[in-house]
Amino acid sequence: MITIVKIIISLVLLVHLSSCADSLNKYSQPIEKIKPSETLDSEKIENATNFQYSYDDLPTNYNPKSDPNADVDELGLWMQIEKIERNTITSGNIVKNEEINSYIKKVFCKVSPEYCNEIRIYIIHMPFFNASMYPNGMMHIWTGALLRIQNEAQLAALIGHELSHYLKRHSYEAYERAIQASGTATIAQLLLGAAGLGNISSLINLGMTSNFYSYGRNDERESDGYGLVLMARGGYKPEEAANLWKRIINTSKKLSLLEVSIFTNTHPSGPEREKKLRELSKIIPYSDSNFIGKKEYIEALKPITSLLIEDEIKHGEFESSLLLFDKLINDEFYLPYIYYARGELYRTKKKNIDLSKALENYKISEKYNSLAAKNLYKSIALTYIKMGNKKNARESFNKYISLHPDANDTNFIKSFMETL
């Protein structure tokens, strides 16, 4: 009798012991993929000779909250989104540099003078291509997008595209679908992660979220069309929208399993999309719009170029970063930074470090501009140390110190050199 009681008690204890320990987060089921209806609107099927999208179709005074269909659900939604906006502002994860923010604002206002003062744009520190528009007029652009975009017209295309999702209520409806489909409510937590306000590992959730909150083909088609109108009205060359899409595809080829291209997930489309955009840009009635702005874009990004590339090195995957860097070299963008970054990739890989390749790339960076990448000579020195070449290492350290006498680690390096 007592034996039985003791056995029961030890079972109780075991149960209790397990609840005493920290409980792990119980994420077991992925969210079901929610697809909006895929039937195409028959009226909007493109006719190759007729550009369907008119600026007049877009509201000039869109106020998301004044929709006559607003109900309690919507109120809950606004609260969630406002919370995301508050978190965005206070998260510490946004780029606050004034010059770059006013540049992006300037481009936005060219694309849409009417909404110039209403939309808030935040640049989020995330090294992947993504931009999103929230139903309350907040836009997020990730630093990875800025690094991959090739010119001002492409930036305008991205902005125009996202703004169209907003003005045509796609953003709102996608959000609503997500709410309704889950049968419960919003997934603000995941969306916070999706907003890039969590750490990089939250990308697992991102992948899940982007399946959850995505635009359908109709919406994409519409936003492509209206996006072209908006950018063209701003004077930008419409064909750059097709080039932007091509760029997204080209730089997304080597993403690892975990690093889904969030943008392509939230904006599903087939490979013909680039082709479609190009066709549309040929028939759009704004033949005078031909500003591309490659130089202007690169120039405007100068204050944050090294930051963008550092982010990519730190958090990117070797294969996909290498691919991106190859593309940037082709474009001849940020060359001294890119070669330095390639050097870093080869030097700091987890497996199969390639010191001679690293050195090669550092040397090229040096030729272009030895002052661009601040840590260039430090990295060269570290490479020489690993190669066993102490003399050259010392030389490089000395170069670093003479170029950056006020660097925050000069004393450390000097002392380290004495032990060589």
Partner 1 sequence: MKNAKTYIKLSLFILAIGILTACKTFTLVEKGQFTDPVGMNVKPEINWNQHKYTNKEYAWTIDGEILNQVLFLSAGENEYFLPFKNRWGLTDPKSPQFNKNITLLEIPDLFVKGVELFGAQLTIVNIDPVTFLDNDGFKLNFEFITEDGLEKLGIVYGTIVNDRLYIMAYGGAVIEFYGKGVSDFIQMAESATL
Partner 2 sequence: MFWASKMKIKSLIPFFLISIIISGCANNKALVAIDYFPPESKTIALLEPDVELSEHTVGGMLVPKAEWTKLAKNNLIKAIQNKLNSIKGNIKTINMDLIANPDEKEIQLMKTMSAMGMSILIHNYVANSSLPTKEDNPIWSMGKETSYLKRKYKADYGLLFYVRDQFTSSSRQATKILAALIGIQMAAAIQQAYAGIVDLENGQLVWFNHLLKTTGDTRTEEGANEMIFELMKDMPS
What residues make contact with partner 1 under the rule CB under 8 A? 3, 6-7, 9-10, 13-14, 16-17, 20-21, 24-25, 27, 87, 90-93, 125, 197-202, 204, 314-315, 350, 382, 385-386, 408-409, 411-416, 419
78 vs 416, beta carbon nearer partner 2: 78
Site string for partner 2, 106-125 (x = CB under 8 A): --------------x-----
Interface with partner 2, residue 189, by CB under 8 A: yes
Binding-site member from 7, 40, 70, 89 for partner 2 (CB under 8 A): 89
SS3 273: helix
Interface with partner 2, residue 23, by CB under 8 A: yes
24 vs 45, beta carbon nearer partner 1: 24
**94 DSSP 8-state letter:** B
Interaction partner, residue 350 (partner 1, partner 2, none; CB < 5-8 Å by kind): partner 1
C-alpha separations of 195 from 18, 91, 94, 312 in Å: 35, 11, 11, 18
**362 DSSP 8-state letter:** H
Interface with partner 2, residue 65, by CB under 8 A: no
Closest by CA position to 328, among listed 315, 347, 313: 313
> How many residues make contact with partner 2 (CB under 8 A)?
47
> Near partner 2 by CB under 8 A, which window of 16-24, 48-56, 260-268, 386-394?
16-24
Q: Distance (Å, rounded) from C-alpha 202 to C-alpha 205?
A: 5
Contact assessment for residue 131 and residue 139, using Cβ atoms and an 8 Å cutoff: yes
Contact assessment for residue 259 and residue 317, using Cβ atoms and an 8 Å cutoff: yes
Interaction partner, residue 415 (partner 1, partner 2, none; CB < 5-8 Å by kind): partner 1
Interaction partner, residue 33 (partner 1, partner 2, none; CB < 5-8 Å by kind): none
Interface with partner 2, residue 403, by CB under 8 A: no
Contacts of 46 (CB under 8 A, 6+ apart): 52, 221, 276, 279, 280
Interface with partner 2, residue 6, by CB under 8 A: yes
Q: Token pair of 185, please?
A: 């409510």
164 vs 205, beta carbon nearer partner 2: 205
C-alpha separations of 340 from 247, 285, 306, 363, 372 in Å: 22, 44, 10, 8, 9
Q: Token pair of 71, please?
A: 């109900």
In this structure, which long-range contacts are made by residues 10-15, counting pairs with CB atoms below 8 Å and at least 24 apart in sequence? Answer: none
In the complex, the smallest distance separating the C-beta of residue 357 from partner 1, rounded to whole angstroms, is 17
The single-letter code of the amino acid at 72 is V
10 vs 356, beta carbon nearer partner 2: 10
- Per the listing, tokens 């099927």 go with 45
Interface with partner 2, residue 258, by CB under 8 A: no
Contact assessment for residue 401 and residue 369, using Cβ atoms and an 8 Å cutoff: no
Contact assessment for residue 312 and residue 324, using Cβ atoms and an 8 Å cutoff: yes
Binding-site member from 100, 147, 188, 304 for partner 2 (CB under 8 A): 188
The footprint of partner 2 (CB under 8 A) covers: 2, 6, 9, 12-13, 16, 19-20, 22-31, 72-73, 75-77, 79-80, 82, 85-86, 89-90, 120, 179, 182, 184-189, 192-193, 198-199, 201-202, 204-205
